[in-house]
Structure 1
């Protein structure tokens, strides 16, 4: 998932992961002390964010039989689990749930006969939901649960037709990462457990249903859809969507699902996807998931993209007409190796997913669009990370995070995991050479394919398979600084962009003379150059200069979210009130948290701005995803004066 490519103020970061549930009881318990020689790795691999007990029993296959009810905003049906019992004395199956109505649990015998099992649903923890304990003394190989979701499920968004691009049919989509999958399926909701799955989904016949599985490009809308995912995946990659969706291919194994009014624009924007797949395979081996399709969601999608296998979910905010933001597709595609193929076993090691993916993303961009584009993006990421470090608690600046405890794992999804993680891998590449590092990284993906792992395991592999061959390349102290210490190590290699040097010269000349850069200079600037230009204007600017820039470049009213998220906060801080109506219009239309939270954060700093932010939120909240709604509501609540 790509949720952030720049630094968010700490106040925003602290509310991004909040998702309201019911009354709190207690967080999932820590594991018992391990007695084997693998005790350290086991402790590191344990997932504090799940009630599941995979050391006793694991789900190996999930079969869903579901019905979508758009009027009730509900998914209902059955989930049938094939189980692998690990301990002979285990007598219970423990699953994660959130706001689910569990009506029946049954053991299914080999002949298909069913016998009811006793179960207990604990009171809800505000972060982790309700622990579901199923008494299973006989250790059945197959268990079936009949259940229904709540209309407020944190992992689902139901949109009225008016909230979609086409405005004709309703829309529904899921967002399971990090622990929202438990809000629409009872699960061992931990990345440490992988399972295959199949599904039969009934819906109204005028919508197309898709899942993170084998979607048929030629499928017709008939109200009943069947899916198979033969590769084992963790629960956060379970995904579903339904709406007025049509398909357009971009290659023999890749294409776009989108609403009819969006599909042509998206296909043109993402037409280089096959080139990205080929570049990735050249570097890191075969693409192992069959098809790579993309689903363009409505603007309310709270993230940039989500790497659901075989069906990346993507925000429409990256469709700019010039392909300048297609690195998001490179990122989600890169997850096909780092994250989907080799997965962090708990969210405290999220850097193993996102840091590796951000590194691979950069390599894909360099292969397809050239080194300069990759360097510009690296510079933006590195500058953003340095800014974030100024307000991030030191414990959260480490790659290998401490156990999360009662912390919502969504809050581990910071720029540290993405950009410090990628920077660390760039450091290793620099020290041993690109050819050696590529061989090492491909070996990591191949040897750990379709498995879940942790930082300890990676470091052991790094030392045995790379650093042992280059004993003088990296010191133990440098390795510790990257993995276990806060901040950015002095050994970090700095990205350098030729294009950004030209942008800097144009901005300095403007601030010195008041003369706008010539059209010959700016005519071919892409998003990254405009981002660098605006960021370099500082925290505030003279209103007259901002008005001059706005008149020349139409920043206010831009549809480019990367520009909007930087321009509007600058305008608000500087008192450029002419931009306020367009800023409000932007946050009322777009639900992607990365793009709107910095704008909300600036608005709430004044009483007038808080009033404007509150009004915008009230107008927009019906179309926001539950994750976005929770984030904005928490920020507004923090900003309001105490009674």
Structure 2
């Protein structure tokens, strides 16, 4: 879900993927440090604790959707037909995951081709998992169909009125299925352990173009009647849909951009290097296996930086800043075409297999296209964020392979762990074995496990055989175990130094020591990453007059760059620089991307005056936020209003 190095979350958001912009876990203090043994973690069975499904008994092999997009009622309605593979000869139930779905009817196909009603039961709702749907299938039907409709408040869908879009004329709808939100718009075996092909027939108002994570035709007519096919098997969290005033602009013969008419050219210009990124990844890690790679630019309310839906990455418009400085997000989502979409974690507790690998591949793409210095700056930023998060993070959440029961909600993982520590581990392996050995290893890993979902233990076994045993004396099993099963970052972690950041550090120190601002001829050449590093390295608070001087020189307040804004406004709030309050409120009201706005909310709620501003702003912005963002803000405000013990 996401998610370039610059799209890693700060430790301000609470609970709520890919991915990405994942929320730091609620309650990050290191309270319970009772360690689970490495041996226990290695031998844990591959059970997905976030799904009611029983994939060892029966699996969905193919999904056929018939859906109607109803903007007036904020609903998707229709049916889902499953082609099933019965694995257990004694199984006579199909158990599906749902959340806030209204189940109208369930039928099964008999051996004679006719359909019959099947009994079903929808269990009471669990706050995190939703409701277990149990379908009685005594004849072990080869196909079962569920007729249903979604709730207007489905956690995996957002419905926007025309006023909430850029064009202001057509309503908009989009999904966000990762981690376990697909069950809120399709009854499914909502676990990455189950991969399926799918087809869909979707009807919508004629002024709405419908797209899915499937074979979108750039030349498709906008006629309100759309069909889709995904021939490669995908897990449920990669099921995606969007509908709105969308047009297409090509980047190359196999890549392009979908966006609202007023955004599409700007986005295509910003993402012009997409095909070059594809060529780099193919050279390093093997062929791109998904045919097209298109990018859908969503309205600002999209809660994440990006989502790697196959063939159709969903992307936030906040990375379109005019200088390509944030296009590492595209490199990240593209990298998921190998790590995540092709080789998938089997449970959310193994998320690093998706995000750590993808962050590593992203960085290699950035290095290849934009140079080692650009890649190193991304590494330093993310590792600084990890160091800050690990000061408070429960050690149990600092391990790559999480112990079962560690997380109540899979949306509450530590992004620094699964993204940054995961990528850092792979860089450790790269440096120990050299790229001449590690690159072929990773390429063959993607090929060997293509279209499979695996746990951490499978990767470890593969690495031991194809790295440790093949090239003895370079790394030990104990070192692998430390990286994967123990908290913190090992002392053996490779260090990265950025000369350009050293210059930024010197400029910041000179200003803090003497009040002398950096020379404009130097700062005029600074990238977003250098400005981010400049602000990140400031003391916890500054005097209001110091912030006023920075603002007068560099115009941080009101910046259109979300990466700078999400660092400047919290610093301003902490420091009592009230001159930035109005712009901060406008920013968090306009943008729905959690990673960018939650740090400011988190600082505002610490004082009575700030809490009131946060509540007033949220009341105005709420209608435009995605349900995932809404939940994060609600929890932050509610926690701040609790009586202090």
Same fold (TM over 0.5): yes
- In structure 1, the residue matched to 2:533 is 532
The answer for the alignment partner of 2:35 in structure 1 is: none
Per-residue deviation at 1:111? 5.5
TM-superposed CA distance for 1:505, in Å, is 1.4
Over 3 Å counting, the alpha-carbon distance change for 1:13 and 1:492 in structure 2 is farther
- Alignment correspondent of 1:36: none
Match of 1:429 in 2: 430
Aligned counterpart, 2:28: none
Q: Which residue is equivalent to 1:289?
A: 290
- SS for the counterpart of 1:242 is strand
CA deviation string 1:558-581 (max 9, x = no partner): 111110010001111111110110
Deviation at 1:112, TM superposition (A): 4.3
1:2 aligns with 2:20: no
Number of residue equivalences: 624
Q: Is the 8 A contact 1:61 1:197 kept in 2?
A: yes
Aligned mates of 2:175, 2:566 — CA distance in 1 = 25
Structure 1 residue 510 displacement after superposition: 1.5
Specify the SS of the correspondent of 1:45. coil
Equivalent residue for 1:118? 119
Deviations 1:144-163 (A, max 9, x none): 11000000100000000000
Of 3-12 and 297-306, the range deviating more from structure 2 = 3-12
1:503 offset after TM fit, Å?
A: 0.9
Shift of 1:12: 2.7
Deviations 1:459-490 (A, max 9, x none): 00000011112221112322121011111110
Match of 2:217 in 1: 216
Q: TM-score if structure 1 supplies the norm length?
A: 0.95
1:479 aligns with 2:480: yes
Q: Where does 1:79-98 land on structure 2 (aligned, <5 Å)?
A: 79-98=80-99
For the 8 Å contact 1:350–1:413, the answer to whether it is kept is no
- What TM-score do the two structures reach when normalised by structure 2? 0.95
Measured in 2, the distance between the counterparts of 1:239 and 1:14 equals 22
User: 1:542 offset after TM fit, Å?
Assistant: 2.0
8 Å Cα contact 1:59/1:194 also seen in 2: yes
Q: For the residues of structure 1 that align with 2:109 and 2:173, how far apart are their CA atoms?
A: 31
Query: How do 1:391-402 and structure 2 match up within 5 A?
Result: 391-402=392-403
What is the CA deviation profile of residues 578-623 of structure 1, one whole-angstrom value per residue up to 9, with x for unaligned ones?
0110000000000000000000000001000000000000000000
CA contact (8 A) 1:363 1:374 kept: yes
Shift of 1:9: 6.0
**CA deviation string 1:418-446 (max 9, x = no partner):** 00000000000000101100010001100
C-alpha displacement of 1:169: 0.3
Q: Does the 8 Å CA contact 1:7/1:385 hold for their aligned counterparts?
A: no
Q: For the residues of structure 2 that align with 1:531 and 1:406, how far apart are their CA atoms?
A: 31
What secondary structure does 1:502 align onto? helix
Whether 1:586 aligns to 2:587 is yes
Say yes or no: does 1:560 pair with 2:580: no
Aligned to 2:103, what secondary structure does the other structure show? strand
Q: Which moved more, 1:532-541 or 1:369-378?
A: 532-541
5+ residue gaps, structure 1, are: 20-38
Aligned position for 2:31: none
Structure 1 equivalent of residue 245 of structure 2 = 244
* Alpha-carbon RMSD: 1.7
Query: How far apart in 1 are the matches of 2:530 and 2:12?
Result: 28
User: Does the CA-based 8 Å contact 1:7-1:388 persist in structure 2?
Assistant: no
> Aligned in 2, Cα 1:18/1:202: closer, same or farther, shift over 3 Å?
farther
C-alpha separation in 2, matches of 1:11 and 1:514: 30
* Cα distance in structure 1, aligned partners of 2:499 and 2:552: 28
Map residues 488-527 of structure 1 onto 2, 5 A cutoff. Answer: 488-527=489-528
Distance 2:7 2:312 in 1: 25
- Structure 2 CA distance, aligned partners of 1:435 and 1:418? 24
Structure 2 residue matching 1:251: 3-state secondary structure? coil
Aligned to 1:550: 551
Give yes or no for contact 2:8–2:595 (8 Å, CA) kept in 1. Answer: no
Question: What does 1:173-572 align with in structure 2 at a 5 Å threshold?
Answer: 173-404=174-405, 407-412=408-413, 414-572=415-573
Distance change (3 Å), C-alpha of 1:391 and 1:451: same
Q: What is the distance in 1 between the residues matched to 2:98 and 2:564?
A: 39
